Amino acid sequence: MASTSKLSNQARNLPWVEKYRPQSLDDLISHQDILSTIQKFISEDRLPHLLFYGPPGTGKTSTILACARQLYKDKEFNSMVLELNASDDRGIDVVRGPILSFASTRTIFKKGFKLVILDEADAMTQDAQNALRRVIEKFTENTRFCLICNYLSKIIPALQSRCTRFRFGPLSQTQMIPRLEHVIRQENIDITPDGMKAIVTLSTGDMRRSLNILQSTSMAYGKVTEETVYTCTGHPLRSDIANILDWALNKDFTTAYNQILQLKTLKGLALHDILTEVHLLIHRGRTAFAFFCFFRYRLASGTNEKIQLSSMVAAFQAVRDLVVSDAS
Ligand SMILES: Nc1ncnc2c1ncn2[C@@H]1O[C@H](COP(=O)(O)OP(=O)(O)OP(=O)(O)O)[C@@H](O)[C@H]1O
Ligand SMILES: [Mg+2]
């Protein structure tokens, strides 16, 4: 009884990304084609070496851990699975040392292969990757490797060709929403529909990011709305952006500059975020106009934020004057 309550206390303290990490392949909410292929490999006992790649928070680590859980019982997990990630040394020594000795030792009592998971493999040095080529080939009978990375181009072609590649693309909104709703029900969160929309928009297909935003906003503000989500992540609200655009186009330079600077300081906004949002807003209307403004801003980037801000306001006003003189 005591141990149950200790466990549930631990679960309560876990960040939600870990608390709601999928435990089995069936729990994963995306990339069904990849999952069914891997299930088939496992059921036919023909698992190849794997290479998972794609942007963060799309389920690469979760997938291989769920596979490992399916392949091995709890008590044999430690002897059959070697998991290395970016926090471990990524040089050639780790290939010659722990990886080689793990891959080369045979298990006496258990049939089947061992699994080496090299998470964040794009952090491995070229030498280490070259050394791994031979190790992968030599111990294929005994060991399977799973390489995971964000950038495929950082994995040498020789390693890529030894593995079956799977790309984990960003999650779609329709995949993320039911999972978020599940967490919302479990955690009893008060959320509005526009709050949900804001989370999904800001996380751009990264499930980890969406869970982190949900957790931090609900902890900081109680209720999750569009406004609290944007404020919690330090992102400018749509109304702020509309105001900025209005000032830049309708006020004189000094007033526009001062008002934007004041809003920026008050809300702790980054100029980069303001510009991205302004860009998105006007992109829907006038592409050329947006590009011009963006270009002017880019010319000034690299200097301090005040100069960049004045460059941005000047760009808007120059375009405004252009449009006005064209019309008259
Ligand atoms: N497909 C998914 N289904 C359900 N939950 C997911 C999925 N993808 C990500 N998550 C959630 O996001 C968290 C992070 O996922 P995971 O560690 O698998 O991402 P990753 O692709 O390995 O990212 P990175 O490239 O940053 O290592 C998980 O703990 C889980 O809560
Ligand atoms: Mg990962």
Q: 34 CB less than 6 Å from ligand 1?
A: no
For residue 113, being part of any structural domain is answered with yes
179 with 304, same domain? no
What three-state secondary structure class fits 305?
Answer: helix
Question: Whole domain around residue 281: which residue ranges?
Answer: 238-327
Whether the CB-CB separation of 202 and 213 falls below 8 Å is answered with yes
Q: 56 CB less than 6 Å from ligand 1?
A: yes
Q: 137 or 1: which carries more pLDDT confidence?
A: 137
Q: 170 CB less than 6 Å from ligand 1?
A: no
Q: 161 or 105: which carries more pLDDT confidence?
A: 161
Q: 98 CB less than 6 Å from ligand 1?
A: no
* Nearest residue (CA) to ligand 1, atom 25: 56
* Nearest residue (CA) to ligand 1, atom 19: 57
- Mean pLDDT lowest among 121-125, 127-131, 156-160, 296-300: 296-300
Q: 195 CB less than 6 Å from ligand 1?
A: no
In angstroms, what CA-CA distances link 213 with 218, 232, 325? 8, 8, 45
226 with 206, same domain? yes
Whether the predicted pLDDT of 295 surpasses 60: no
- For residue 167, the model assigns a pLDDT of 96
d(CA 287, CA 172): 26
Mean pLDDT (whole number) for 217-228 = 93
Mean pLDDT (whole number) for 84-108 = 81
> Which atom of ligand 1 approaches the CA of 120 most closely?
27
* Nearest residue (CA) to ligand 1, atom 12: 208
Whether the predicted pLDDT of 285 surpasses 80: no
From the CA of 62, the nearest ligand is 1
From the CA of 119, the nearest ligand is 2
153 with 267, same domain? no
d(CA 228, CA 7): 31
CATH number of residue 226's parent domain: 1.10.8.60
Count up the domains in the chain and report the number. 3
- For residue 108, the model assigns a pLDDT of 64
- For residue 299, the model assigns a pLDDT of 52
- Mean pLDDT lowest among 1-10, 51-60, 161-170, 220-229: 1-10
- For residue 291, the model assigns a pLDDT of 56
Q: Using the mean position of ligand 2's atoms as its centre, give its distance from the Cα of residue 148 in Å.
A: 7
Domain end among 112, 143, 167: 167
Mean pLDDT (whole number) for 87-96 = 81
For residue 75, being part of any structural domain is answered with yes
From the CA of 207, the nearest ligand is 1
215 with 255, same domain? no
Whether the predicted pLDDT of 8 surpasses 70: no
CATH number of residue 321's parent domain: 1.20.272.10
- For residue 284, the model assigns a pLDDT of 63
d(CA 245, CA 248): 5
Q: 325 or 275: which carries more pLDDT confidence?
A: 275
Whether the predicted pLDDT of 286 surpasses 60: no
Q: 59 CB less than 6 Å from ligand 1?
A: yes
For residue 177, being part of any structural domain is answered with yes
43 with 123, same domain? yes
Domain end among 183, 213, 233: 233
* Other CB atoms within 10 A of residue 117 CB: 22
256 with 322, same domain? yes
For residue 106, being part of any structural domain is answered with yes
111 with 139, same domain? yes
143 with 79, same domain? yes
- For residue 103, the model assigns a pLDDT of 87
> Which atom of ligand 1 approaches the CA of 20 most closely?
31
180 with 265, same domain? no
d(CA 67, CA 143): 15
- For residue 196, the model assigns a pLDDT of 96
Q: Using the mean position of ligand 2's atoms as its centre, give its distance from the Cα of residue 64 in Å.
A: 9
Mean pLDDT (whole number) for 247-274 = 89
Q: Best of 27, 28, 62, 155 to mutate for ligand 1, by most ligand atoms within 8 A of CB? A: 62
Whether the CB-CB separation of 71 and 114 falls below 8 Å is answered with no
Q: What is the pTM of this model?
A: 0.81
Domain end among 167, 189, 224: 167
- Mean pLDDT lowest among 133-147, 208-222, 266-280: 266-280
For residue 3, being part of any structural domain is answered with no
Q: How confident is the model at residue 153 (pLDDT cuts 50, 70, 90)?
A: very high
For residue 11, being part of any structural domain is answered with no
d(CA 142, CA 139): 5
Q: How confident is the model at residue 6 (pLDDT cuts 50, 70, 90)?
A: very low
249 with 151, same domain? no
Q: 211 CB less than 6 Å from ligand 1?
A: yes
Mean pLDDT (the chain, rounded): 86
For residue 120, being part of any structural domain is answered with yes
d(CA 265, CA 256): 14
For residue 7, being part of any structural domain is answered with no
Q: 307 or 274: which carries more pLDDT confidence?
A: 274
What is the tens place of the pLDDT at every residue in 14-62? 899 999 999 999 899 988 999 999 999 999 888 999 999 999 999 999 9
Whether the predicted pLDDT of 176 surpasses 80: yes
66 with 181, same domain? no
Q: Is 207 exposed, middle or buried (0-12, 13-18, 19+ CB in 10 A)?
A: buried
121 with 154, same domain? yes
Q: Best of 20, 21, 200 to mutate for ligand 1, by most ligand atoms within 8 A of CB? A: 21
